[in-house]
Amino acid sequence: MSLLLNRNTFGDPANTGKVLTRPEAENLFSSWVINPRLQLHMKQVAHLMKCWAAEKENINEADQWRWEMAGLLHDADWDQWPDQHCKKIIEELESRNIDPEILHAIASHGPLHFGVEPETKMDKMLYAFDELSGLAHAYALMRPNNYEGMDVKGVKKRLKEKSFAANVSREDIDDACKRAGILLDDLIAFIIPRQAVVK
């Protein structure tokens, strides 16, 4: 099964800045994504994207939602249409005339799988948060106090254990950090306290 998208441009530049409203996005999210674990993962990534936009990129509140929306919907088709992963949600958002930057971020969140290179900072951060967020959460689930007291060292130790959360691609994490120009330690330190508040 190939998930290659076989194209590099998404959406129409005339739709730059166009977004779903929060209720529209939440409606799409809850009608397409049934698995509560996947829902939580997508909410966590959405929150990390919003925090990064606000804290590191100094992006205004309206634009923070574009980052958050990319995170919230990046895996929207994974639950019900895994063989059309990325393709289906992109086509849905294209039909709703959504900002091409959001579409490109979703399309490039797994360059090794979808064949689309992350280009913008939004692209790169979505790719960087995706797998590492999943690993940090798997670690939280096995800790007695969840995220409380979790540190960078502990997450890195789990990362080195290949059998821990084996479905999390270590290759993607390395590749994503390099592309984003962020040290693994810094990214983990950013994720832990912010992800901890997402329920």
Give me the least distance between CB of 129 and Fe ion, in Å please: 8
> Which lies closer to Fe ion via its Cβ, residue 15 or residue 116?
116
Give, as ranges, the residues between 26 and 85 that touch Fe ion (CB under 5 A): 75
Give me the least distance between CB of 112 and Fe ion, in Å please: 14
Structure tokens at 190: 């950013």
Give me the least distance between CB of 111 and Fe ion, in Å please: 14
Three-state secondary-structure class, residue 195: helix
> Which lies closer to Fe ion via its Cβ, residue 75 or residue 101?
75
Residue 109 phi, psi (nearest 5):
-80, 0
Give me the least distance between CB of 131 and Fe ion, in Å please: 8
101 contributes a contact to Fe ion by CB under 5 A = no
Handedness of CA 136, 142, 147, 151 (dihedral sign): negative
> Which lies closer to Fe ion via its Cβ, residue 15 or residue 195?
195
Give me the least distance between CB of 45 and Fe ion, in Å please: 6
Structure tokens at 186: 């810094």
Do residues 187 and 135 lie in contact, with contact meaning Cβ atoms separated by under 8 Å? Answer: no
> Which lies closer to Fe ion via its Cβ, residue 18 or residue 113?
113
Give me the least distance between CB of 176 and Fe ion, in Å please: 12
Q: Applying CB under 5 A, which of residues 77, 130, 172, 175 lies at the interface with Fe ion?
A: 130
Q: Binding string to Fe ion for residues 134 to 173, with x set by CB under 5 A, is what?
A: ----------------------------------------
Number of residues interacting with Fe ion: please give it, by CB under 5 A.
2
Q: Cα 140 from chain centroid? A: 18
Three-state secondary-structure class, residue 68: helix
Residues 6+ apart with CB under 8 A from 194: 47, 48, 51
> Which lies closer to Fe ion via its Cβ, residue 123 or residue 130?
130
* CA distance linking residue 9 with residue 157, whole number of Å: 38
* CA distance linking residue 52 with residue 109, whole number of Å: 16
* CA distance linking residue 60 with residue 54, whole number of Å: 7
Residues that bind Fe ion (CB under 5 A): 75, 130
